[in-house]
Amino acid sequence: MRVQVGIIGAGPAGLFLAHLLHRDGISAVVLESRSRDEVEGTVRAGVLEHWVVELMQQLGLGERMLREGHVHDGITLQWNRARHHLDIAGLTGGKRIMVYPQQEVLKDLIAHRLAHGGEIIFGVGGTTIRGIDGDRPAIDFRRDGNGPAETVACDYVVGADGFHGPGRQAIPAARRGEYQKVYPFGWLGILVRAPRSWHELIYTHQQDGFALLSTRSPDVQRMYIQCDPNDDIADWSDTRIWEQFHARLGTDDGWSLTEGPIVQKGIIPLRSFVCEPMQYGRLFIAGDAAHIVPPTGAKGLNLAVADVVVLSLALAESYRGGRSDLLQRYSQFCLRRVWKAERFSWYMTTMLHRNENESDFEQRMHFADLDLVRTSHASAVSLAENYVGLPFD
């Protein structure tokens, strides 16, 4: 098989890239190790930055999102049992976020690409990248995990294969730098069959730690609490989970949280990670393959899309006029945005979580930070601008 761009991974990075390249008349194939059902069934992100919403529409993918997604003008921050509304639209000249689950975005991207003749091969095994040092790169793979060996010959390989994929590892260790922070807490996430308890997302920092109230649909809510990343989910009974949500989301104004059956629960660790550079020879890495943010800033998916927007522009320019300097600057250009998203995600995470390793002084600093957002216009604007999505520079 011969295409211009071979993409590994059918997550947000790989699928948005396939759409953007198709728009520019560049041929591509997407190789994905999981089945279509698994990809479409994995519950992850929920928040789209304003420009991602516009991009979905430009790509002709906005119809269901506009019908079923929920536009939010702001978020609620809560500490000391009191709530503070952050008017994101008012603070950013009218920009809003969209709550539309990642797996719904993926369903739309997959259905649309397949309906228009795009090739996405699910369930591949043995993905191996080679030849990125020279000018004839290729990806070897096996259909259905163990079928006969096949090869995608291409001009460029894109590793959009998430944190554990082979993309980043194909950059020689001596040529990459890795920057990492592992947090001493994780998130316990649940999906609940219940109506909404509040009209916008609530991020709280209470005595027992962080909690986040988010949503998926009018009948299904997504909620998280800070926990020990080494906890066994079996030790978190539904009763214990609800006790913690009530303790952390409770206020003194008579509001009450609506409970419902918990239909899914799981624990994820929190980490920050950046790989520099994001390119080696004819290999480009994008999204979680290159960087991880803790989910407190809702940046991971959005950052993955930002990478491939930059990459598609650089590829299109290179194919159009042979101008390759944009491709050479891909990494440098992306990393400027990446580090700002890392900073914001780290800021939100440290400000909103209880960290037993910190001194009382440091813990007080986080409440001062929160109160600064409440009382300082500049601080509120900064949080809002970052949350809704920074402009591309």
284, 336 in Cβ contact below 8 A? Answer: no
3-state SS, residue 358: coil
**Euclidean distance between CA atoms 354 and 213, whole angstroms:** 17
387 included as an active-site residue:
yes
Residue 186 interacts, among ligand PHB, ligand RFL, none and using kind-specific CB cut-offs from 5 to 8 Å, with none
Q: Which is nearer to ligand PHB, 11 or 137 (CB)?
A: 11
Residue 33 interacts, among ligand RFL, ligand PHB, none and using kind-specific CB cut-offs from 5 to 8 Å, with ligand RFL
Q: Give the residues across from 35 on adjacent strands.
A: none
319 included as an active-site residue:
no
Taken in order 266, 190, 98, 53, is the CA torsion positive or negative?
positive
Q: Does 33 contact ligand RFL by CB under 6 A?
A: yes
Residue 126 interacts, among ligand RFL, ligand PHB, none and using kind-specific CB cut-offs from 5 to 8 Å, with none
Q: Does 296 contact ligand PHB by CB under 6 A?
A: yes
302 closest CA partner among 264, 274, 342, 330: 342
**Euclidean distance between CA atoms 28 and 314, whole angstroms:** 15
First-to-last alpha carbon distance for the chain, in angstroms, is: 37
In angstroms, what is the minimal distance from the CB of 88 to ligand PHB?
13
338 closest CA partner among 381, 275, 279, 250: 275
Return the residues of window 45-74 that contact ligand PHB according to CB under 6 A.
Answer: 45-47
Catalytic residue among 72, 112, 291, 366: 72
299 included as an active-site residue:
yes
**Euclidean distance between CA atoms 162 and 102, whole angstroms:** 14
Q: Does 288 contact ligand RFL by CB under 6 A?
A: yes
In angstroms, what is the minimal distance from the CB of 97 to ligand PHB?
9
Catalytic residue among 100, 183, 203, 330: 203
Among 118, 287, 330, 390, which residue sits at the site for ligand RFL (rule: CB under 6 A)?
287
Three-class SS of 256-279: CCCCCCEEEEEEEEEEEEEEECCE
Catalytic residue among 22, 50, 112, 299: 299
Binding span for ligand PHB by CB under 6 A among 44-52, 122-130, 150-158, 376-384: 44-52
Q: Does 159 contact ligand RFL by CB under 6 A?
A: no
Q: Does 14 contact ligand PHB by CB under 6 A?
A: no
Binding span for ligand RFL by CB under 6 A among 293-301, 339-347, 351-359, 374-382: 293-301
Neighbours of 9 (CB within 10 A): 30
Q: Does 157 contact ligand RFL by CB under 6 A?
A: no
For residue 101, say if its preceding peptide bond is cis, omega within 30 degrees of 0: no
277 included as an active-site residue:
no
Q: Does 298 contact ligand RFL by CB under 6 A?
A: yes
Q: Is 162 left (phi over 0), alpha (psi -120 to 50) or beta?
A: left
Neighbours of 179 (CB within 10 A): 12
**Euclidean distance between CA atoms 70 and 47, whole angstroms:** 10
72 included as an active-site residue:
yes
Helices vs. strands in the chain: H and E counts, helices first = 13, 20
Binding span for ligand RFL by CB under 6 A among 11-19, 90-98, 328-336, 363-371: 11-19
**Euclidean distance between CA atoms 242 and 224, whole angstroms:** 11
As annotated, the active-site residues are: 72, 203, 295, 299, 387
Contacts with ligand PHB by CB under 6 A lie at: 45-47, 201, 212, 214, 222, 295-296, 298
Contacts with ligand RFL by CB under 6 A lie at: 8-14, 31-34, 39, 44-47, 102, 124, 127, 160-162, 165-166, 189, 268, 287-288, 295, 298-302, 304
